[in-house]
A = this chain, B = another copy of it.
Amino acid sequence: MVTIKDVAQVCGVSPSTVSRVIADNPRISNATKKKVRKVMKELGYHPNISARNLVAKSTNALGVIMPSSTSKALQNPFFPEVLRGIGSAIHHMKYSMSLSTGDTEDEIFEEVKRMVYGSYVDGVILLYSRANDPVTTFLRERDFPFVIIGKPYEYENEITYVDNDNIRAGKEITEHLIHNGHERIAFIGGSTDLFVTVDREKGYSLALKEAGITSNEQYKVHTEFVRSGGEEAVASLFSLNNPPTGIVVSDDLISLGVTNMLRQSSYEVPKDISLVSFNNVYLAELTQPPLTTVDIQIYELGIQSARALIEKTMNKNEPTKRIIIPHKIVYRESVGKIK
* A residues apposed to B, CB below 8 Å: 1, 46-51, 53-54, 57, 59, 61, 64, 66, 69, 72, 74-77, 79-81, 83-84, 86-88, 91, 94, 96-103, 107, 110-111, 114-115, 117-120, 225, 227, 253, 256-257, 259-261, 263-264, 281-283, 285-288
Contacts and interface: CB of A to CB of B under 8 A. Distances in A.
Contacts of A81: 74-75
Contacts of A61: 98
Contacts of A120: 49, 96
B286 A256 contact: yes
Contact of A77 (B53, B75, B227, B286): B75
Given A75-B77, A88-B103, A48 B118 contact: yes
A264 B101 CA distance: 39
A102 B120 CA distance: 22
Given A96-B98, A256-B287, 16 more contacts: A47-B118, A48-B119, A50-B50, A50-B54, A50-B119, A64-B99, A72-B282, A75-B77, A75-B80, A75-B81, A75-B283, A83-B99, A88-B101, A96-B115, A98-B98, A260-B288
A232 to B, nearest CB: 16
Contacts of A47: 118
Contacts of A98: 61, 96-99
A175 to B, nearest CB: 28
A112 to B, nearest CB: 12
A227 B285 contact: yes
B118 A100 contact: no
Contacts of A118: 46-49
A83 B87 CA distance: 15
A214 B14 CA distance: 75
A32 to B, nearest CB: 23
Nearest to A107: B91
A99 B72 contact: no
B100 A87 contact: yes
A84 B77 contact: no
A101 to B, nearest CB: 3
10 contacts: A69-B84, A74-B84, A75-B283, A79-B80, A84-B103, A94-B114, A96-B115, A97-B99, A98-B98, A260-B286
